[in-house]
Structure 1
């Protein structure tokens, strides 16, 4: 597209005023205002700036009324960011009313007009409700007009008294969103994946309740979209009203758009065709909730006259990272062919770490983050929420500030967590029948419901509930023996440290076997439930008593509530899932838990092995999103074992490992990818050489600190004797109380600290303090 002198003056003026200097493709995107445009924007390619410049160009140069421009994105944060960015780039237009909004807020406006014209009333049922308020409404026999309580009640009715766990509720609401966003007809609802049995029947009951269960129509957020689409399709006058309101439509982050959302935008643009779609098919990572990347690949079929532009220059990352990410994403076949590149200076690094054991991961990351300058931004990315808890625990103990992007605070109220705490309470007082009632189905005692009811009728007293059961309730002979063993086990738990107690609950009291039975019966994900138990064990590590453990859990729960407010603290590390990290960037990025079965998931692998590559391609895109968050420093981290079982490195990490040779752009990637397979013997590298020297000679990455194996296996220095005076890099001077191969206890001015021997010696955190001579 040829630029006129007025266009050139526009670009030059914004370069002087706002420092914005667009490349050739970005300028073409700004100038293509008439007709459909698909703008494919690689990570870090300046898409938001380009979109805002295009909006400003329409107003300032083409004289378009700002009210006739609609810019739609798919989160409130993105809509707010667009509005702020536009005001910063065009302060002279700050009083104009450009329609920056989410698709849901636009849909709500249409739905409101639709029902108002029909004279119908409705009520939104989204949002949380306090448990106390829900209980009060239920006791008063009043309708609870909130989505989740409605679903819980319908499930109880359908199952004859069953209850939904929070995990099942999440799975169910995701399933409902998927069905709605895919616009699946009712006879295909059972095709959508949901771990909850008969989810399609429950959805059918839910839809009926919303229509006829109360004196008004009930709508949730997903209904906003489906009703909006139906209204625009069925009501020509309403459609013309909104088509005539907007002359120019723009959608950002369009790879996250669902079929119903594309349908809404398509209806609005049908009258003039002035539609600009900004997207990156390589960053479409929300297929599980209905995103439809195939629509982008078919864009020219929907809009034959559309122009396609590719913003392939990355302004964010070092060439080493850009090169590796660009090569990695080419694993996918169902994508636009793009060649992401950068002109940024070299000097970035990708390091691959293979640790000896899962427990070394949090220690390694914590040590690598220690001493990071406040002006260097860092992030730790993972696929599953449970990965965050172990990191939160380790970072807090190390005194490293962090913010949690999207923490799952329900971990602390999860029924597995509450079960473990109730088992621990039983160890302190086994005289309360109501406490046993909470755990008896998961205890290796084979107590029946009838026997439990008999115990409740007898009530508590001054003797153990186990003695009461044995002496006053009819039992089988095998039950008597098992209950006596349980009583003895609970008694011994009082003297155990927290981790020993949890392992006793799992293996001696039968809790893990009970988990397996529950998974078989109700379809719970065993891997996820065992992950909760493993995380509890990790948190318990180093805590001397069960009371310490309970207090630690309460402290961490409070800490997570305040984690978001710490985001502006200098040097705060961001903890985030790969999904929530999209759109963000950091100087240093650590991607953890990179194992087959995690990313890609076992489900991804199973489907791929059967010839269905869709989920595997989405997993590739998710990994790519993680890689492209890093500016200069990217580490990929896995481990050889977890809970005693061998772990297979993620095939994605293996793929990046293969990039260790020369890169595709003039050798830019030659030294980009380095690997460090950490041996178990600390302090020595190949052939028993000191680790740092061995790494230097082998070309190992020098990023961060040496990786940490399970425990220090060298000799303790002579200065670490009880009573010796030492100085810690962070805590200052102190006196050694005790030291062994695992931990060093030191009394500092702020209190006693238990320090990991491994970390202190490898990082040189403790130094001897010489006695003064007179």
Structure 2
């Protein structure tokens, strides 16, 4: 019977399963843990198992529940099911997220107990959220999780909650709920947001007593659903009787409370199939519980464990290195991933001389690729995408930013830098200085600032502070220095201005103090300043810099429309899980980023969990690549020495011989050869490394540039035909049908992106 099923599906839809996959499909009774390595055909196996239950075992579709981690995964499974089993009703199987299931249980509980409730999480209009962030009184009170938390935090601490702090605070709350941590232990959970535990306690109280209804957020769905099943035996029995077979996907991302809900549902019959990969558990900070998988046999003593380890995605070179790399983790199931695909080329490992070459190098490498949709650039932190986006935009290379987060452009650090710059044009606007006065030399108190806030005598705010602010002598001296520095900055190039703001005006020192006081991550904030420097490089005026920021913000928004088109994908490692590309570039692979400084600190203190998760994250990045994988680090950044990631070093040792620019420059190097750049003489943060001579242009490229100057018209592979409006040795400005584009001349010419048009 089973053989007939497999043969029929092979003939009908071309699905052919290997031996382990067949066993996973056929073992329908009792608990099963199916460990699915990357690229092992996990989703295909899941769908075939569901179809087998329906077509061969005669199970009523309404008696089967398939639970996954995200709505996108549930949608993907539903579409795959329709394709594999067109003869079955398309919606006969209940594919849903764990939150959807928990909310159904919670609503049932509320009906039984007569509890009125209101959901306070979901989409919030950007203008409403911004108004709340700016402490603007809204015409009608908005009951939304973020607004409630913001108001509670400001009342408790007398400080405003930044977007970064909001993200950390909501992550802390979610962690506590998903781990089922009792209230008396909330304070033991680390959170860098001041008074986070008190905010959480008051938030919980407000949800219960602040209105005439019980207010619930997404995490409450899980906790209430779990508690309802725990306390209401009749309700538990109802849901246990509803489903005879339960299947969960992406279970390495599942939290303790989510596992507990599933455990209760299947207690009566035990027919549970858990599909997971402990080696791809990368959401520990969001309360994912990979240890639950390792203890699966303790929870389900009769359980069978199957390992799907054949990779159908990647070459032997990539699979072999990834398989050996993940074995550095100790807390995992022992398994060996393999493939029968071609050997392929070794992983490319490059340690560029300086950070500033990285984005340009990537742009050059991918600019000649015809199918950009098969290219991905992956990184750990979203801040890595800004400099990359800037160069791709200049090069005219279309991109899709999977994690596009426009908050970068409204971040308070960006706004601070712009306000510093605005103050160079006029120092007669007290509101500008008030926005930065605590982050500048010549520290001025709030009371002193208040004394001059409303003075409108058309005099310098610095002079008014000295005259009316009752300053101490050291403050007067420093304010005069600041006034002179602002005056000298007027008309400066934006890159020079940012460095003056960070150094001479004391902004970087102010960031240090804020990090100590408020728990901000210094690396993240300095990373924003670094990204602004990247954007400012080569721009002539501060106005041009402000316009460039607006342009890039719009480019990031527009990139969402490039999904599914011929565009390169930019993504964090986390968001790339489940995706695959022919070519993958992993960037910013240095100590302090992956692994992070916190990972390293905990590992050296005898806590390996964070380091093992960082290993898994790196492994997820590697296993996205089908045929070409490139790992990129750099030896200097902002004049300071960096150290390549220990993970990259490990891959280098696993692979021999490994192509590396340590033996010479890359074949398609950036306009300067990174490997030939000598180290800076000083390790001062802003020191400039020596600049090597530019690589000479080929004769063909020189002729192309000459013809571009002659014709005044050009054709770009992505933007079409356009009129050249400006051109120098490095850049070319072209007016296309969709608007003016500023491109890197040599990159576009040497990679064939741009050619002259006669007539």
Q: Distance in 1 between matches of 2:492 and 2:138?
A: 46
Measure, in 1, the Cα distance between the counterparts of 2:235 and 2:722: 75
Alpha-carbon distance between aligned partners in 1 of 2:140 and 2:282, rounded to the nearest angstrom: 40
Q: Distance in 1 between matches of 2:100 and 2:643?
A: 45
Deviations along 1:476-505, one digit per CA (max 9) or x if unpaired, are 333333323322322232321111111111
Query: Which residue is equivalent to 2:579?
Result: 584
Aligned to 2:447: 450
8 A Cα contact 1:683 1:762, kept in partner: no
Equivalent residue in structure 2 for 1:57, among 30, 52, 55: 52
Distance in structure 2 (CA, Å) of the matches to 1:326 and 1:514: 45
Q: Distance in 1 between matches of 2:190 and 2:596?
A: 15
State the shift of 1:376 in Å. Answer: 5.9
SS of residue in 1 equivalent to 2:480: helix
Structure 2 counterpart of 1:674, from 659, 662, 666 = 659
Q: CA deviation at 1:755?
A: 6.5
Alignment partner of 1:539 out of 526, 535, 538:
535
> Residues 267-301 of structure 1, C-alpha deviation per residue, up to 9 Å, x if partnerless?
00001010001110100011111110111111111
Per-residue CA distance 1:401-433 (angstroms, 9 max, x = gap): 110111222111111111111111111122111
Answer whether contact 2:408 2:414 (CA < 8 A) is retained: yes
Query: 2:95 aligned with 1:100, yes or no?
Result: yes
Check whether the contact 1:745–1:752 (CA below 8 A) recurs between aligned residues: no
Q: Deviations over 1:162-197 (max 9, x none)?
A: 111111111111111111111011122122221113
Distance change in 2, residues 1:505/1:97 (3 Å): same
- Which runs of structure 2 are paired with 1:220-619 in the superposition (5 Å)? 220-374=217-371, 377-459=374-456, 461-570=457-566, 572-619=567-614
Q: Distance in 2 between matches of 1:349 and 1:627?
A: 12
SS of aligned partner of 1:640: strand
Report Cα offsets for 1:194-221 as digits up to 9, x if no partner.
Answer: 1113322221111111111211111110
C-alpha distance in 1 between matches for 2:246 and 2:706: 70
Aligned counterpart for 1:744 among listed residues 730, 747, 752: 730
Give distance in 2, aligned partners of 1:405 and 1:279: 24
CA distance in 2 between counterparts of 1:549 and 1:190 reads 44
| Native 8 Å contact 2:366 2:372 kept in 1 | no
Provide the secondary structure at the position in 1 that maps to 2:403.
Answer: coil
**Matched residue of 2:400: which SS?**
strand
Runs of 5+ unmatched residues, structure 1: 1-5, 662-670, 695-708
Can you give the 5+ residue segments of structure 2 that lack an aligned partner in the other structure? 677-688
CA separation of 1:43 and 1:613: change in aligned 2, threshold 3 A: same
- CA offsets, 1:719-767, max 9 Å, x none? 999998244996599999886xxx5355767699877687579869899
Q: CA deviation at 1:678?
A: 7.4
Q: Structure 1 pair 723/247, CA: closer, same or farther in 2 (3 Å)?
A: closer
Rounded Cα–Cα distance in structure 1 between residues aligned with 2:653 and 2:206: 55
Structure 1 residues 562, 749: CA separation in 2 closer, same or farther (over 3 Å shift)? closer
In 2, Cα distance between the equivalents of 1:121 and 1:264? 23
Q: 3-state SS of the aligned residue for 1:93?
A: coil
Is 1:713 aligned to 2:671, yes or no?
no
Shift of 1:472: 4.4
- Counterparts in 2 of 1:747-758, with a 5 A limit? none
Using the alignment, how far apart are the partners of 1:757 and 1:226 within structure 2? 57
Measured at CA, do residues 96 and 153 of structure 1 come closer, stay the same or move farther in structure 2, by a change above 3 Å?
closer
RMSD between superposed Cα atoms in Å = 3.1
Residues 567 and 768 (structure 1), Cα distance of their counterparts in 2 relative to 1, 3 Å cut: closer
**Deviation of the 1:717 alpha carbon:** 6.9
Match of residue 77, structure 2, among 55, 58, 82: 82
Q: Which moved more, 1:193-202 or 1:30-39?
A: 193-202
Change in CA separation of 1:119 and 1:589 when aligned onto 2, cut-off 3 Å: same
Distance 1:504 1:90, change over 3 A: same
SS at structure 1 position matched to 2:347:
strand
* 2:161 is equivalent to residue 164 of structure 1: yes
Q: Distance in 1 between matches of 2:286 and 2:549?
A: 32
Kindly tell me: are residues 737 and 77 of structure 1, through their superposed partners in 2, closer, same or farther at Cα, counting changes over 3 Å? closer
User: 1:9-28 alignment to 2 at 5 Å?
Assistant: 9-28=4-23
Q: CA deviation at 1:355?
A: 0.3
Whole-Å separation in 2 of the counterparts to 1:182 and 1:28: 33
What is the CA–CA distance in structure 1 between the aligned matches of 2:7 and 2:750, rounded to whole Å? 55
Identify if the C-alpha distance between structure 1 residues 19 and 747 changes in structure 2 by more than 3 Å, giving closer, same or farther: closer
* Alpha-carbon distance between aligned partners in 2 of 1:74 and 1:268, rounded to the nearest angstrom: 17
User: Counterpart of 1:347 in 2: which secondary structure?
Assistant: coil
Distance change in 2, residues 1:730/1:395 (3 Å): farther
- Aligned twin of 1:646: 641
Aligned residues of 1:721 and 1:736 also touching (Cα < 8 A): no
Tell me how far apart the structure 2 counterparts of residues 417 and 433 of structure 1 sit (CA, whole Å).
Answer: 19
Contact 2:322 2:622 in 1 (8 A): yes
- Aligned-pair distance for 1:527? 1.4
| 2:380/2:573 contact within 8 Å kept | yes
How big is the shift at 1:469?
2.8
After the TM superposition, which of the residue ranges 265-274 and 494-503 deviates more from structure 2?
A: 494-503
Query: Is 1:350–1:634's contact at 8 Å kept on the other side of the alignment?
Result: yes
> CA separation in 2, counterparts of 1:524 and 1:488?
31
Counterpart of 1:309 in 2: which secondary structure?
strand
- Per-residue CA distance 1:125-164 (angstroms, 9 max, x = gap): 10243465465997478643111111111112222x2111
Question: In 1, Cα distance between the equivalents of 2:124 and 2:636?
Answer: 42
Q: 1:682 to 1:711 in 2, by over 3 A?
A: farther
SS of the residue 1:677 aligns to: helix
Deviates more, 1:439-448 or 1:163-172: 439-448
Deviation per residue, 1:680-710 (Å, 9 max, x gap): 899999xxxx999x9xxxxxxxxxxxxxx98
Q: Under a length normalisation based on structure 1, what TM-score does the superposition of the two structures give? A: 0.89
Asked if the contact 1:356/1:710 (under 8 Å) is kept, the reply is no
Q: Is the 8 A contact 1:314 1:341 kept in 2?
A: yes
CA gap 1:54/1:718 in 2 versus in 1, 3 angstroms: closer
Aligned residues: 731
Distance (Å, rounded) in 2 between the aligned partners of 1:569 and 1:479 = 57
Contact 2:361 2:669 in 1 (8 A): no
Contact 1:356 1:678 in 2 (8 A): no
